[in-house]
Structure formats: C-alpha cells, structure tokens
C-alpha cells in the first residue's frame, strides 16, 4: 500500500526512463555533432522536395529509389554546384581583396578625422576602425565557412536525404507518433514547421539575390570595377544580420572616394542606403505574406545563433530553431490549458 507523500513507483520509472533517454541522446549527439549540419541540410532539402517526391513516385509507378535519385541529382546540379562556384569566387577573390585593401580603411580614417576636427567630436579610434574591418571580414568568412566545402558533409547529407525521401511517409508518421502532444497540437506544429523551412530556405536566398541585383545596377552606374564580382559579394553579405549588403556598398563607396570619384561615391552610398536597404524590407514583407510569417528580429538573432552553431546551413536553421522554440512554448501553454493552438 502506498504511503502518504510517497512518489508512485510508476512516476519513478518514467523519470528514470526519461533521464536514461536524455543521457543516451546526449552521448549520441556529442559523438555525431560534426554531422549535425548534414542532417539539417538533409531535412531542409526533404521539406523542399517532399511534394515533388510524392508526385514523381506516382508517375514512376512506385519506383521510389529512382525518384529520389533524380531529385537528389537535380538539387545538386541546380543548387549546390552554382553555390559552390559562387563561394569559390568569393573566397578566392573578394575576401583577399578586402584584406589587402588599405585604401578603404585609410580613406575612412581621413573622412572621420576631418569630421572630428571640423565639429570637435570623437567618433572612432584607429583601433576601432581596424576591429570593424576585421569583424566584417570575419563575418563574411563565417558565412562562407567550411560547412559546404567539406565533401564528407555533403556526402552524409545526401546519404540521409536518400532515406528521408524513400521512406518519407513512414518517417513522418513515426516522428509525429513519438511526440507527446494531442492531434491538434501535432497538426499545428507540422503546419508551422514546414512553413518556417520554406520561408527561410527560400526567402533568405531570394531576398539576398534581389538585393544583389539591385546593388549591381548601382555598381554599374557608378563605375565600380568588376561589378559582377561585387554583386556576388553583396548576395552573400545580404544574409548577415543588421549590416547585410552595407558590408559591401559602404567600403566600395569609400574606395571610390579614395580614387577621387567623389560624386560616384556619394551616389553609390545613397543608392545603397535608400534603394538597396529598402528592397530588403519591402521584399521580405512580401515574402512573409506569401510563404510564411517570420519576424525580422527572429531572422536577425536566428542567423547569429545559426552561424555559430551550424555554419553555413545555420543561415536557414538558426531562425527556424528560434521560431521552433517559440512554437513549442505556445504548444506547451495550450496543452496545459487543455485548449489546442489555433
């Protein structure tokens, strides 16, 4: 007979089992954490290719292996090959150019010194300027980090993706059965999680590409040398939180100023600040209505977290991770209130 204030044996067994599961999961994660970006990349591709996989399997009369292979080959040729080429150009030409270019920072120091002398104010020290430059380069390098340069990560990602595609329906059914939620909460999670993947995996690159195209027009009009190369740099920089494309068009404006092209420098700076900056806000708002609603603050802080945790794929999964945390909080609140989320 159970004594008063005694913990039921069933509760003790459940707690022990949960601790055991979490401990084993932690050990497995620690040993396989190198491949976390591969798993996240595979999941992203799975969500993007899921509907195509089901349609193609039907057309091929149930030959899931062939359908998966064709979709994986298509994603590799359409997405990864061009992406690797763009990153190669960036790492081999743009970043070394920025590192070696003393004209940009010398010109910026001159402009700031003149302002300080004229208005008797203190803006930035040389050390702060140097730190700012190093931070900009390091952020650019972080975005194009080694995550997708590693052939092993790409191989593991496609290995996982193959099984996700061929066993997609079974995998989804098992995953949602494991969740300790009511049916309404599971439906809510499924809907919002898929929407988050689409809005980030498609929205972030599209916004960056559009900013790059608009910036390319400004580079061409103001006489920037090799505008296409700087267009690539702008597309990559546009995914960096807060500063984004300004990491490219501001130094270019200063470089034009250093070369005596004062009018072009002013035009490029204003064009970047007003036009390129507005594109980000306007197009992101449109995407939120069409694909999914991701708050800008979630995107900013999510990208910061994602880059530190996962490398390049963190650009997509950082905001998803942050949004998922908020979704789980909402589900928990609704579960405890005995009312399903809407």
Q: φ, ψ for residue 2 (rounded to 5)? A: -75, 130
Q: Nearest CA to 186 among 340, 50, 44?
A: 340
Q: Which residue has the tokens 């030409």?
A: 93
pLDDT tens digits, residue range 135-192? Answer: 555 555 555 554 444 567 778 888 989 998 888 888 888 877 777 777 788 778 877 7
The whole model's pTM is what? 0.68
Q: What is the pLDDT of residue 39?
A: 84
Q: φ, ψ for residue 5 (rounded to 5)? A: 65, 10
254-269 residues labelled b (16+ CB within 10 A) or e (exposed): bbbbbeebeebbebbb
The count of other CB atoms within 10 Å of the CB of residue 323 is 24
pLDDT tens digits, residue range 206-219? Answer: 888 888 899 999 99
Q: What is the pLDDT of residue 123?
A: 53
- Give the 3-state secondary structure percentages of the chain, helix then strand then coil, rounded to 5: 85, 0, 15
What's the mean per-residue pLDDT of the chain? 75
pLDDT tens digits, residue range 267-285? Answer: 998 998 888 888 776 776 6
CB contact set of 314 (below 8 Å; sequence gap of 6+): 37, 303, 305, 306, 307, 308
Least confident of 101-115, 265-279, 302-316: 101-115
Please state, in angstroms and rounded to a whole number, the distance separating the CA atoms of residues 116 and 110. Answer: 10
Q: Find the angle CA(296)-CA(212)-CA(42) to the nearest 5 degrees.
A: 65
Q: φ, ψ for residue 212 (rounded to 5)? A: -65, -40
Pair of tokens at residue 12: 């003790």
pLDDT tens digits, residue range 63-72? Answer: 888 999 999 8
User: DSSP labels for 25-67?
Assistant: HHHHHHHHGGGHHHHHHHHHHHHHHHHHHHHHHHHTTT-HHHH
Mean pLDDT of 89-106: 57
Q: Nearest CA to 153 among 239, 80, 56, 262?
A: 80
């Amino acid at each position: 007979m159970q004594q008063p204030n005694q913990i039921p044996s069933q509760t003790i067994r459940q707690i022990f089992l949960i601790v055991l599961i979490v401990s084993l999961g932690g050990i497995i994660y620690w040993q396989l954490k190198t491949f976390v970006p591969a798993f996240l990349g595979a999941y992203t591709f799975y969500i993007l290719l899921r509907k195509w996989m089901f349609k193609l399997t039907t057309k091929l009369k149930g030959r899931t292996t062939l359908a998966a292979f064709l979709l994986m080959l298509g994603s590799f040729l359409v997405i990864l090959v061009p992406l690797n080429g763009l990153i190669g150009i960036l790492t081999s030409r743009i970043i070394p150019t920025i590192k070696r270019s003393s004209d940009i920072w010398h010109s910026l120091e001159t402009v700031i010194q003149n302002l300080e002398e004229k208005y008797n104010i203190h803006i930035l020290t040389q050390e702060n300027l140097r730190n700012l430059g190093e931070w900009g380069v390091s952020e650019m390098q972080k975005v194009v980090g080694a995550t997708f340069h590693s052939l092993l990560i790409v191989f593991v990602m496609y290995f996982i993706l193959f099984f996700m595609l061929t066993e997609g329906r079974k995998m989804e059914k098992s995953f949602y059965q494991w969740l300790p939620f009511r049916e309404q909460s599971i439906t809510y999670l499924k809907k919002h999680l898929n929407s988050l993947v689409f809005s980030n995996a498609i929205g972030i690159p599209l916004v960056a590409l559009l900013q790059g195209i608009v910036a390319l027009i400004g580079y061409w009009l103001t006489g920037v040398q090799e505008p296409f190369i700087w267009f690539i740099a702008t597309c990559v920089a546009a995914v960096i939180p807060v500063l984004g494309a300004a990491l490219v068009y501001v130094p270019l404006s200063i470089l034009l100023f250093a070369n005596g092209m004062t009018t072009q420098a002013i035009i490029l700076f204003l064009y970047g600040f007003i036009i390129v900056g507005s594109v980000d806000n306007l197009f992101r708002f449109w995407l939120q209505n069409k694909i999914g609603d991701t708050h800008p603050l979630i995107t900013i802080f999510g990208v910061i977290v994602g880059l530190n945790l996962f490398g390049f794929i963190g650009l997509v999964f950082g905001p998803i991770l942050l949004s998922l945390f908020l979704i789980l909080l909402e589900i928990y609140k609704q579960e405890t209130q005995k009312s399903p989320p809407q």
